Amino acid sequence: MRVIEAKDYADLSRKAANVISAQVILKPNSVLGLATGSTPIGTYKQLIDWYNKGDIDFSMTKSINLDEYVGLDGTNDQSYRYFMDNNFFDHINIKKENTFVPSGVANDMEAECVRYDKLIADMGGIDIQLLGIGHDGHIGFNEPGAAFEKTTHLVTLDERTIEANARFFASKDEVPKRAITMGIKSIMQARKLLLIANGPDKKEIVQKAINGPVTPLIPASILQFHPDLTVIYCFN
Ligand code: PGA
């Protein structure tokens, strides 16, 4: 595990973007596992900037996202598909048909879970997975539980997650209560992992996740077992 302390959020974003940029330069047809949330926004901005300068070419790159709210389609401005288009894909030359986010509005959500796992396998797995971390230790929407959920599955969001995400909605009541998320197995099978955490409120959970016992009560703690994990944090 590599643990890198960033000076501030801009530094964290540049460092994370450098890691992703190196991946795409070294392997233009990489499969990037991507994440939503406020933490990766600066990383995406930096990558867009370097793309505009001609430093990175995403034309052969594919992406696969961690999760989506159940009940929101891609036109809903709180959906993760909308977030990814708006914060990243619409500003670079990745082909939209090569970008994948689970559907939150499939008729059969169980079948969507199976389809998503097959999609990851058919893409040959994930080269690098970008991860944020929730205050409860979730990665994607793998919430604390009795066991690590291996494959893509449906979850009921924790109260803490709903509260944290309410800032993006008109009110807490509008936050969807359910989500579809990639499982721990798919995340752990990614060839590289890049966890980013920003802010003093993330200090305690990051320390527990990377130094504490491995337990499904802190889903991110499983990452300690990954052979190629980089953690970049700024707790200022
Ligand atoms: P945040 O979310 O980047 O908005 O803090 C992280 C997460 O919940 O995974």
Q: What domains, with CATH codes, occur in the chain?
A: 2-234 (3.40.50.1360)
Q: State the helix-helix crossing angle for 41-52 and 80-87, rounded to 10 degrees.
A: 40
Copy the structure tokens of residue 214. 């491995």
Mean predicted confidence (pLDDT) in 15-27: 98
- Per-residue pLDDT tens for 159-198? 988 999 999 999 999 999 999 999 999 999 999 999 999 9
Q: Is the pTM of this model over 0.85?
A: yes
Position 154: which residue type?
L
Judge whether residue 6 has pLDDT over 90.
yes
Separation between Cα atoms, residue 173 and residue 176, nearest integer Å: 8
Catalytic residue, candidates 68, 112, 127, 138: 138
- Per-residue pLDDT tens for 126-137? 999 999 999 999
CB-CB neighbours of 142 under 10 Å: 25
Q: What percent of the chain has pLDDT over 70?
A: 100
For 215-233, b/e burial (b = at least 16 CB within 10 A) is ebebbbbbbeebeebbbbb
Burial class of residue 59, CB neighbours in 10 A (0-12, 13-18, 19+): exposed
Copy the structure tokens of residue 221. 């703690």
pLDDT at 236: 95
Catalytic residue, candidates 127, 143, 149, 158: 143
Please choose from 34, 39, 160, 205 the residue to mutate so as to test ligand 1's pocket, defined by most ligand atoms within 8 A of CB: 39
71-76: list long-range contacts, CB under 8 Å, 24+ apart.
71/104, 71/105, 71/176, 71/178, 72/104, 72/105, 72/176, 73/103, 73/104, 73/105, 74/101
- Per-residue pLDDT tens for 68-100? 999 999 999 999 999 999 999 999 999 999 999
Judge whether residue 24 has pLDDT over 90.
yes
Residues enclosing ligand 1, CB less than 6 A?
37-39, 132-134
Separation between Cα atoms, residue 74 and residue 11, nearest integer Å: 31
Q: How many residues appear in the chain?
A: 236
Indicate which residue's Cα is closest to atom 8 of ligand 1: 134
pLDDT at 121: 96
CB neighbour list of residue 8: distance below 8 Å, 6 or more residues apart: 234, 236
Mean pLDDT, the chain, rounded, equals: 97
**Ligand 1 atom closest to Cα of 199?**
5
Q: Would you call 67 a catalytic residue per the annotation?
A: yes
pLDDT at 160: 87
Q: Would you call 112 a catalytic residue per the annotation?
A: no
Catalytic residue, candidates 136, 149, 153, 158: 136
